[in-house]
Structure 1
Amino acid sequence: MTKIIAVLNHKGGVGKTTTAINLAAALQQKKKRVLLIDMDGQANLTESCGLSIEEERTVYGAMRGEYPLPLVRLENGLTLVPSCLDLSAAESELINEPGRELILKGLIAKALDTCKFDYILIDCPPSLGLLTLNALTASDYLVIPVQAQFLAMRGMAKITNVVGIVKERLNPELNIGGIVITQFDRRKTLNKSVSEIISESFCDKVFKTVIRDNVALAEAPIKGKNIFEYNKNCNGAKDYMSLAQEVLKLK
């Protein structure tokens, strides 16, 4: 059965897209069939996978009902639904659509009629608007990357509140799969303090894996590669493989 995971934090710069692409790549290394969906109007995931933000067919057109989800098979074996800069307009364009929170769920269901995937990872926009609601309504689990800095964790309460509302009104199957601490440097006292606070506050919802601060993770998207294509022996690759091992255990 396909497991659908939304990767979300409404604060930017916490490693959301980095987590989506490299967790997907790690799951693929584990022989899983993985689909990535770029739901962010900045299209960072699309570019990180080596595609143009001006693809002819994107998730934007699919959300507007113009065609099914466009599945682009990448050279590395992953499949991607690309985004574009126009996607940001979907928030206002779809606001009066009946069942607007369910559009993505319906598109995914139709895609799964023709293609089989073990995991679908959705890279959400850094907001809690309509596009994010679509992702949460379609998902089984939520993975929340949190930078090991005090300001980055302040919005956690708002995310958990939104998840509770979505679970109650739209998607009773939604659960927080886990919180992953990113950009962690154990030499910094603040990083360690924040990490401890997050672990104490959310207990079993925090993944044991910590994504260490690693320059290769920042360099790989420039080349249009995931971390395993760019440098499979670096700390970033090791950390995301460890995270994938934990994600595989989600029931």
Structure 2
Amino acid sequence: MTKIISFISRKGGTGKTTNAINLATMFHSLGHKIALIETDNNYTLNTLRKMELYKTGANEHNLFPIIPSLDENAIEEIEKLKEDGLDYILVDSAGKTTDKNIKKLCIASDVVIVPTSLSPNDLLVTYQTVKDLQPAREFNDNLKILVLPNRIHSQTRKETIAQATEELETIVLGNKVPMKNLFVNFSTILSEKEYLPVAKEILEHV
């Protein structure tokens, strides 16, 4: 059965897109059959994929598809993609989506990932995002909401992350995404091996 993993945050710049594509490329490299839906109408991932195909000459048929969409059309895209027998469908949602579209996406998802740094502003937005997502559990008993510590200084201890996120009342992933250029300057084709521990932990919750 196809599993749906959605990246949601009430704020842009928290790391939804970078983590969605890093997770997608890692899943693909592990042999999973996947697709990624991009609903931000800037279509960063689609543009980058076209550039990479042009520069590398890679065969597009050997890659996972990145589907451009809009938040209001994401559920329709998910239902169509399910017919392809995929292992996972990842959704990179837009930063400014409506309450209605967030609720619909949560109801359709198995796992929702909320990336956040430890800055006071990001934590405040993450807290509100988690609160906004929780009512969807009334319609989706199996929904898991995961907080992913993102852009974390390499010397930051787990205890510090735990203290900063203790009020979120949800699952905070034990693996953090460090503040490194290799995670920001991502590829839509090649996976970043240092992302493997994060991907494996997410798989444990799917």
Q: TM-score range by the shorter chain?
A: 0.7 to 0.9
Residue number in structure 2 paired with 1:81: 67
Aligned mates of 2:50, 2:64 — CA distance in 1: 12
Query: Which whole-Å deviations, capped at 9, do the CAs of 1:158-181 have from their partners, x for residues lacking one?
Result: 21222122222x4444221x2111
Q: Judging changes above 3 Å, is the alpha-carbon distance between structure 1 residues 217 and 127 closer, same or farther for their aligned structure 2 residues?
A: same
Residue number in structure 2 paired with 1:247: 202
- Secondary structure (helix, strand or coil) at the match of 2:78 reads helix
**1:17-32 equivalent positions in 2, closer than 5 A:** 17-32=17-32
**1:149-188 equivalent positions in 2, closer than 5 A:** 149-168=119-138, 170-176=139-145, 178-187=146-155
Gaps of 5+ in 1: 52-72, 92-102
TM-score by length of 2: 0.81
The code of the aligned residue for 1:127 comes to: K
Q: CA deviation at 1:216?
A: 2.2
Aligned mates of 1:75, 1:210 — CA distance in 2: 32
The structure having more radius of gyration, on CA atoms, is: 1
Aligned mates of 1:220, 1:75 — CA distance in 2: 20
The code of the aligned residue for 2:110 comes to: D
Q: Judging changes above 3 Å, is the alpha-carbon distance between structure 1 residues 207 and 82 closer, same or farther for their aligned structure 2 residues?
A: same
Residue number in structure 1 paired with 2:186: 220
- Secondary structure (helix, strand or coil) at the match of 1:208 reads coil
Aligned pair partner of 2:166 in 200, 203, 209? 200
Residue number in structure 1 paired with 2:85: 116
Q: Judging changes above 3 Å, is the alpha-carbon distance between structure 1 residues 215 and 75 closer, same or farther for their aligned structure 2 residues?
A: farther
TM-score by length of 1: 0.68
Aligned mates of 2:60, 2:159 — CA distance in 1: 38
**1:117-156 equivalent positions in 2, closer than 5 A:** 117-129=86-98, 130-156=100-126
Q: CA deviation at 1:226?
A: 4.9
Q: CA deviation at 1:134?
A: 3.5
Count of residue pairs the alignment pairs up:
199
**Residue range with higher mean Cα deviation, 241-250 or 129-138:** 129-138
Q: Judging changes above 3 Å, is the alpha-carbon distance between structure 1 residues 47 and 135 closer, same or farther for their aligned structure 2 residues?
A: farther
**1:6-21 equivalent positions in 2, closer than 5 A:** 6-21=6-21
Gaps of 5+ in 2: 52-58
Residue number in structure 1 paired with 2:56: none
Aligned mates of 1:174, 1:213 — CA distance in 2: 29
- Secondary structure (helix, strand or coil) at the match of 2:176 reads strand
Q: CA deviation at 1:138?
A: 1.8
Q: CA deviation at 1:199?
A: 4.4
